[in-house]
Amino acid sequence: MRLALLAGLLGVLLFSRARQDVIGQQAEPLRWIEAGAGGTLPAEMYFHNADGKLGVLLTGGPIEMKGHAFFEPQGINPRGCVTCHQPSNAMSVSVEAIRERWRVTNGEDPIFAAVDGSNNPKLPQALASSHSLLLNRGLFRVGLPWPPADKTVKPEFIIEIVRDPTGVNLDDTYGLKGVNPTISVFRRPRLSANLKYVLSPDDVFNIKTGTLMAVDPETGKPASMNMMADARHLTLRQQANGAYRDHQEGRQGLLRREALEQIVAFEQQVYLAQSHDRWGGSLVETNGPSGLGPRALADGKIHVLANNNRDPVFRLFDAWKTPATMAKELTDAQREFRASVARGNDVFMFRQFWIRDAAHINSIGLGNPIKRTCATCHNTQMTGQDLAPGWVDVGTVNYPTWTEPPVFSDNAELPVFKLTCDKGAAPHPYLGRVIYTNDPGRALITGKCADIGSIVMGQFRGLAARAPYFSNGSAKNLRELVDFYDRRFDMKLTEQEKVDLVNFLSVL
Amino acid sequence: MRKALLVLLVSGSALFSGGTTAQRNATPPAHRRNFVACPIVRDTKTLPCWLAEYEGELYFLGLQGSSASEFYPPQLNHEVLVEGTVTNEPRICGGIPLKPLRISVLPELNRACNTLLPAENGLEAPAAVARRFSEDLRKPGTDISQREFIIPFDFDSDYLTFHTTRIVGEAARIAKAINAAKIEVRGYRATTWLSNGKQFIETETIADQRANKVGEILVGLGLPAAAVTVISQNEPEPYDGVTDTDKRRVTVRLFTP
């Protein structure tokens, strides 16, 4: 009886909080920005999410969206860049927001454009089931030519389609046997923010390949290769033109010069991070952790290798380790939360485990396995990407470490490709020469067997605003993300460590 | 770019004919341990140790490091070629140290190579060498007197490590500084004489792969393609069980006008 009462009370409290959040969100006029709607984007914005608030900063000042190429349709469909890169969603787009758009527009929102916002352009577009990958996992279709468009690439493997739940890969127009043979994979949109870190090049040599780094055609200098999931575009201009062609169905080949420059200039001034906790308290405190909030991102130094205890990846959380050093006005719940975040940072930085069978981590001279930490790979200060080109097969898209249903399952959502590598090619270091995957990743660009399933790691910022996670949206929330790593690397995390890690990730 | 390079294949059979008959009848050097085995990783209270067993004896290979370390550890799920000289030094992590030592991870999967041992009292790792930050290592040199560069490779590999990319980078820097008229890149293929008397010969195309890769990098670093000559010596040089590791290489020679 007492338990039932308690549960009821808890339910009321939860309902009240959920309702409050919804009301708060509805009150945010920029919660969803429609392409072409006009208006002003302020220089500083805050958006509610389940873990508090996200802060977005435009270092160049407010932006008039009317006539601005980032916010206006450029192609033949009514999408703009903003359609899939919403400030409230950490310049990406969450499943929660996508579902809301389906509800509000009855599926008419341009985000559901047949070209890539549906499972297959030939399916009946009025049905939600035709957009299930977008509605359930936040995934857009990315059609890539196979063999690669770069004719100097000699593929080391053949691709067979083993499972095609969307029908698009076996389609006679859009598929592998079409006039323009194409492999369709399904991926999450990445953040168009904090880009000075993402675009910061490493060295002349690419430590992953032992060859020269790809060169930025605009500057002649090494490119970071950390922007796209498969590193196929090296610069913001290349990416913008690619998005114009593939996502906005642009028919002019390239964006107009002025539009291109406007998009790039805007993207280079956007910084974001979680800014407030779920009680409304600012995460940016005097004498508190200095790596939190969007201003820290705007002011931070680029290309800092931070897998150390002197100047860690998201800087020091010492002030949150004990109540005595926390801000005086905090409630007990806030203090408890901050202590958990500080412990989570320690788990991220210092909790060792065996990192094993991760291609392009273990295989680049570190040894297999290595006893290191999360920060070994997620080593770039402020973003948690890899300072070197960050494509890694961490196991999210390849069998057997993926979290997808069995290949023969009728409930599967994603395609499965069987890749068979040439006998003479260097095999995938841990999967050999026959690999089942739902996204070959970097290998669709390089044609290399060793790259199958390698995906460029993404930023860790604004996570609370943009679930789900991983390139294939396979982690619905931060807990699922932590659980994946716990299983994948047999980390043996305690329940407390998991909670601490989730809290830590939620404030980034 | 590969086509832009002048590729000259030197027939090795004439150069080395008859060079190996005597070696086949000899015994491998007793002080050397050249063998293929599954590596073993042993956890310790500090850094994991890497070991390998040969004929009932355990040998210490090295410690876990970073990508800037001189020693790149082996890989579970892969066999390793060990080429080292036995020392009288105290055992480390239970294994006899080999110095000098070269190891090569063999590319094919072998899932039987899966031994991970727990930390035990009395089997401690030595203190790690102070870590050198890669930024320091990336600084180019200032001397321009060097004219020949030797880039070593692991067995059957054309992968350039953090350290060997520095050698290629230095060659390019000096070639530019002296305005080299000709840059000769010569790739080699080698045989390892294993302690069991067998020969372990690299893939036929490995000399080509190595030479072409280094040649392409030099051109990519700004040297004129017409000045870069790539030569592949596909016939393995004689082996002796001692210096075989040195023969898996690419040489870069700079010629002034």
Q: What is A84-127 written as a DSSP string? A: HSBGGGTTB--HHHHHHHHHHHTT-SGGG-HHHHSS-TTS-TTS
> CA Rg, chain A, in Å?
22
Window B:126-185, CB contacts with A under 8 Å: 133-134, 138, 158-162, 164-165, 169
Let me know: does B141 contact B173? Beta carbons within 8 Å: yes
Partner A contacted by B47 (CB < 8 A): yes
For range A220-245, the mean pLDDT: 97
pLDDT tops 80 at residue A2: no
Tell whether the model's pLDDT for residue B15 goes beyond 70: no
Q: Are A166 and A133 in contact (CB under 8 A)?
A: yes
Decide: A403 and A395 in contact? Cβ < 8 Å: no
Residue of A48, A75, A45 lying closest to A61 (CA atoms): A45
Beta strands in A238-312 (DSSP E): 270-276
User: Token digits for B214?
Assistant: 């280094």
Query: How crowded is residue A4: how many other Cβ atoms within 10 Å of its Cβ?
Result: 8
Distance from CA of B251 to the nearest CA of A (A): 17
Closest approach of A357 to chain B, Cα-based (Å): 8
Q: Does A150 touch chain B (CB under 8 A)?
A: no
Alpha carbon distance A77, A140 (integer Å): 15
User: Residue B132's pLDDT band (boundaries 50, 70, 90)?
Assistant: low
Show the DSSP H helices in B63-191 as ranges: 134-138, 162-177
- In 3D, which of A268, A312, A269, A266 has the Cα closest to residue A292? A312
Which tokens belong to A406?
């069995």
pLDDT single digits (tens) B33-81: 999 999 999 999 999 999 999 999 999 999 998 888 889 999 999 999 9
Q: Work out the average pLDDT over B121-135.
A: 73
Strands B182-188 and B228-233: parallel
Task: Of A102, A101, A194, give the one whose Cα is nearest residue A463.
Answer: A194
Q: What is the mean pLDDT of chain B?
A: 89
Write down the residue that tokens 């399933």 correspond to: A453
CA B215, B217, B218, B223 dihedral sign is positive
Where does the pLDDT of residue B23 fall: very low under 50, low under 70, confident under 90, or very high at 90 and above? low
Average pLDDT rounded to a whole number, residues A314-336: 96
Q: What is the pLDDT of residue B247?
A: 97
For B162, name the nearest residue in chain A, comparing CA atoms only.
A207
- pLDDT reading at A24 higher than 90: no
The pLDDT value given to residue A27: 61
How far apart, in whole angstroms, are the C-alpha atoms of residue B105 and residue A430?
A: 13
What sign does the dihedral A10-A13-A16-A22 (CA atoms) show? negative
Is the alpha carbon torsion for A17, A20, A26, A31 positive or negative?
negative
Res A355: pLDDT: 98
Distance CA A456, CA A228 (A): 7
Structure tokens at B216: 């392409």
Cα separation, B22 vs B140, in Å, equals 45
For all residues of chain A together, what is the average pLDDT?
A: 94
**From CA B191, how far away is CA A132, in angstroms rounded?**
57
In percent, the amount of chain B with pLDDT more than 70 equals: 87
pLDDT at B10: 36
Q: Closest Cα of chain B to A389: distance in Å?
A: 14
Between helix B162-177 and helix B206-220 the angle, nearest 10°, is 50
CB A268 within 8 A of CB A199: no
Ranges assigned E (strand) in A105-220: 140-145, 157-163, 182-187, 205-206, 211-212
Residue B131, pLDDT score: 57
Q: Does A67 touch chain B (CB under 8 A)?
A: no
> How many CB atoms are located within 10 Å of the residue B93 CB?
27
Q: Cα(A65)–Cα(A58) distance, rounded to whole angstroms?
A: 13
Do the Cβ atoms of B77 and A367 come within 8 Å?
no
CB-CB contact of A304 with A311 (8 Å)? yes
| Chain B residues touching residue A356 (CB < 8 angstroms) | 76
A432 and A393 Cβ atoms separated by less than 8 Å? no
Residue A443 has pLDDT above 70, yes or no: yes
Instruction: Read off the tokens for A194.
Output: 């904090």
Whether the predicted pLDDT of B9 surpasses 60: no
Residue A14 reports pLDDT greater than 80: no
Helices (H) and strands (E) in chain A, counts: 14, 16
- SS3 label, residue A287: coil
Q: Which of A23-37, B7-21, B23-37, B217-231 has the lowest mean pLDDT?
A: B7-21
What are the chain B neighbours of A217 within 8 Å (beta carbons)? none
Between B124 and B190, name the one with better pLDDT: B190
Q: Establish if A207 touches chain B: CB-CB under 8 angstroms.
A: yes
- State how far the Cα of A313 lies from the Cα of A295, in Å rounded to an integer: 16
- Reduce the secondary structure of A293-331 to three states and give it as a string: CHHHHHHCCCCCECCCCCCCCCCCCHHHCCHHHCCCCCC
Distance CA A405, CA A399 (A): 10
Q: CA A291 to CA A314: how far, in whole Å? A: 5
Tell whether the model's pLDDT for residue A89 goes beyond 80. Answer: yes
- Which one of B40, B66, B153, B214 would you mutate to disrupt binding with A, by most A Cβ within 10 Å of its Cβ? B66
Query: pLDDT, tens digit, for every residue of A263-293?
Result: 999 999 999 999 999 999 999 999 999 999 9
- Asked if A362 is an interface residue toward chain B (Cβ–Cβ < 8 A), one would say yes
A29 in contact with chain B, both atoms CB, cutoff 8 A: no
Burial class of residue B240 in the structure, from the number of CB atoms within 10 Å of its CB (0-12 exposed, 13-18 middle, 19+ buried): middle
Provide the pLDDT for residue B133.
55
Q: Is the ipTM of this complex over 0.85?
A: yes
DSSP E strands, A115-215: 140-145, 157-163, 182-187, 205-206, 211-212
What is the pLDDT, as a whole number, of residue B221? 97
At A261, list the tokens. Answer: 């420059």
User: Rounded to whole angstroms, how far apart are CA atoms A66 and A80?
Assistant: 12
pLDDT exceeds 50 at position A406: yes
Please say whether the beta carbons of B75 and B39 come within 8 A.
yes
Pairing of strands B182-188, A370-372: unpaired
Specify whether the backbone of B44 is left (phi greater than 0), alpha (psi in -120 to 50) or beta. Answer: beta
Residue A451 has pLDDT above 80, yes or no: yes
Q: Is the pLDDT of residue A294 over 90?
A: yes
**Confidence (pLDDT) at A23:** 36
Q: Is A444 exposed, middle or buried (0-12, 13-18, 19+ CB in 10 A)?
A: buried
Q: What percent of chain A has pLDDT over 90?
A: 91
* Three-class secondary structure of residue B241 per DSSP: coil
pLDDT tens per residue across span A165-190: 999 999 999 999 999 999 999 999 99
Identify which of B87, B199, B138 has the alpha carbon closest to the alpha carbon of residue A305: B138
Instruction: Report the SS3 class of residue A134.
Output: helix
- The partner residue sitting opposite B161, judged by closest CB among A204, A210, A430, is A210
Distance, in angstroms, between B110 CA and closest chain A CA? 9
Whether the CB of B73 is below 8 Å from some CB of chain A: the reply is: yes
Confidence band for B16, pLDDT divided at 50, 70 and 90: very low
Interaxial angle between packed helices A495-506 and A332-350, expressed in degrees from 0 to 180 and rounded to the nearest 10: 100
Chain B positions in Cβ-Cβ contact with residue A386 (cut-off 8 Å): none
Residue B137 has pLDDT above 80, yes or no: no
Average pLDDT over residues A309-334: 95
Structure tokens at A448: 């290399």
pLDDT at B181 over 80: yes
**Spatial separation of the C-alpha atoms in residues A79 and B65, rounded to whole Å:** 49
Q: Is residue A342 a contact partner of residue B18, using CB atoms and an 8 Å limit? A: no
Band the pLDDT of A410: cuts 50, 70, 90: confident
In the numeric block, the tokens 């290592």 are attached to B137
Query: What pLDDT, on a 0 to 100 scale, did the predictor assign at position A8?
Result: 43
Write down the H helix ranges in B132-205.
134-138, 162-177
